């Protein structure tokens, strides 16, 4: 029986792990080996404090992991499929079911982040891995000298489009509106980059090719009859994310989009289950906010478990 099981090995889960292990909780972190932290797919984080020259996403997660292991956090690779109530020894506790077994704990912290949203257009699934990608760091070098299309207009899309100019001859950003949603500094960099052009008010209708992607068919949102074809070797899709929260359906409250609703203590509607990071309903999904949420969730779980054990100082009021 653990004091706490943390599901997720990204910035939120690892920060919760650092705080829980350092508070001498018997803590286990379970993370998916197949569906890694989204931050490991970006090559440069410029806005996480303490790294004035920026740091790679993979490298940052490695540093978080080393720090957590130093405090004795137990880490295992497994995919969690369900979290269920499991009363044991007079205590209400929770069972975390993975593909290679189950673990029980007095409390659970869910930090499962999000995964990329798909466009759901013809050709997308068929050409994934043969021209369609959701990770510029992973696949950008395959498009050296090529024509690349980036779909999306937020921070991630623009940041990744800029990164792709290191390899591609041209990058076209396809966006459904007539202006970008990305932060001003990224917009300025994109507009100043001569390799980047824009297809405004456009959505992808179909991705076509043979053994690999050859073109993208666009539809004008203002006039659905107006179509055009962009020749392309690669299509990178950054149109948003969806939360990995299926394991909490029917256990704790989720909002209409599937994000976990939490209070200011990161407590969900199920007593003893806390949630933090990108999988929760929140305004800003970034590394720094995920870390802050993770620290709060671990402290709240610590107070909750201390309450169950009768050792609490009474600092936590859910």
Ligand X SMILES: Cc1cc2nc3c(=O)[nH]c(=O)nc-3n(C[C@H](O)[C@H](O)[C@H](O)COP(=O)(O)OP(=O)(O)OC[C@H]3O[C@@H](n4cnc5c(N)ncnc54)[C@H](O)[C@@H]3O)c2cc1C
Query: Using the rule CB under 6 A, is 245 a contact of ligand X?
Result: no
Which residues 196-225 are close enough to bind ligand X by CB under 6 A?
Answer: none
- Binding of ligand X by 290 (CB under 6 A): yes
Please, are residues 296 and 266 in contact by the beta-carbon 8 Å criterion? yes
Contact 125, 133 (CB under 8 A): no
* Interatomic CA distance for residues 190 and 156, integer angstroms: 12
99 versus 229: smaller Cβ distance to ligand X: 99
Binding window for ligand X (CB under 6 A); candidates: 38-46, 119-127, 207-215, 267-275: 38-46
According to the binding rule CB under 6 A, does residue 172 interact with ligand X? no
**Cβ(86)–Cβ(105) below 8 Å:** no
Catalytic status, residue 138: yes
Over the window 49 to 88, marking each residue x when it contacts ligand X by CB under 6 A and - when it does not, the resulting string is ------------------------------xx--------
In the set 3, 78, 139, 155, the catalytic residue is 139
Identify which of 41, 1, 23, 16 has the alpha carbon closest to the alpha carbon of residue 238: 41
Q: Does 139 bind ligand X (CB under 6 A)?
A: no
Min dist CB 35 to ligand X, Å, is 5
13, 123, 131, 152: residue in contact with ligand X (rule CB under 6 A): 13
Region binding ligand X by CB under 6 A among candidate stretches 3-11, 117-125, 213-221, 263-271: 3-11
291 part of the active site: no
Whole-number minimum distance, CB 135 to ligand X, in Å? Answer: 7
Q: What backbone torsions phi and psi does residue 278 show, to the nearest 5 degrees?
A: -65, -20
Residue 9 interacting with ligand X (CB under 6 A)? yes
Give the nearest distance from C-beta 210 to ligand X in angstroms: 29
Question: Considering CB under 6 A, how many residues would be counted as binding ligand X?
Answer: 37
Q: Which residues are catalytic?
A: 135, 138-139
Chain positions contacting ligand X, by CB under 6 A: 7-13, 30-32, 35-39, 41-42, 45, 47-48, 79-80, 111-114, 156, 159-160, 244, 277-278, 285-288, 290
């Amino acid at each position: 029986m653990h004091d706490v099981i943390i599901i997720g090995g990204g910035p939120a889960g690892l920060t919760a792990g650092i705080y829980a292990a350092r508070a001498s909780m018997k803590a286990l972190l379970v993370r998916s080996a197949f569906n890694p932290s989204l931050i490991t797919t970006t090559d440069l984080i410029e806005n996480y404090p303490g790294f004035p020259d920026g740091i790679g996403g993979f490298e940052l997660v490695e540093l978080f992991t080393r720090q957590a292991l130093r405090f004795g956090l137990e880490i295992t690779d497994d995919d969690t499929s369900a979290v269920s109530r499991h009363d044991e020894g007079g205590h209400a506790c929770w069972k975390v079911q993975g593909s290679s077994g189950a673990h029980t704990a007095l409390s659970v912290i869910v930090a499962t982040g999000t995964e990329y949203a798909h466009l759901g257009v013809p050709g997308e699934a068929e050409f994934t891995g043969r021209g369609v990608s959701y990770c510029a760091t992973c696949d950008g070098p395959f498009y050296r000298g090529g024509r690349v299309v980036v779909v999306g207009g937020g921070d991630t899309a623009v940041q990744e489009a800029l990164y792709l100019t290191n390899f591609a001859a041209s990058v076209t950003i396809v966006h459904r509106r007539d202006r970008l949603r990305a932060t001003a500094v990224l917009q300025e960099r994109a507009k100043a980059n001569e390799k980047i052009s824009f297809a405004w008010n456009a959505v992808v209708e179909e991705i076509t090719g043979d053994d690999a992607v050859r073109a993208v068919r666009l539809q004008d949102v203002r006039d659905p009859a107006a179509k055009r074809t962009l020749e392309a070797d690669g299509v990178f899709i950054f149109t948003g994310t969806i939360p990995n929260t299926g394991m909490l359906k029917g256990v704790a409250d989720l909002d209409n989009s599937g994000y976990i609703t939490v209070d200011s203590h990161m407590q969900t509607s199920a007593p003893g289950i806390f949630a933090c990071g990108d999988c929760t309903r929140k305004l800003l999904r970034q590394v720094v906010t995920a870390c802050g949420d993770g620290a709060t969730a671990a402290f709240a779980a610590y107070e909750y478990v201390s309450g169950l054990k009768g050792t609490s100082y009474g600092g936590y009021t859910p």
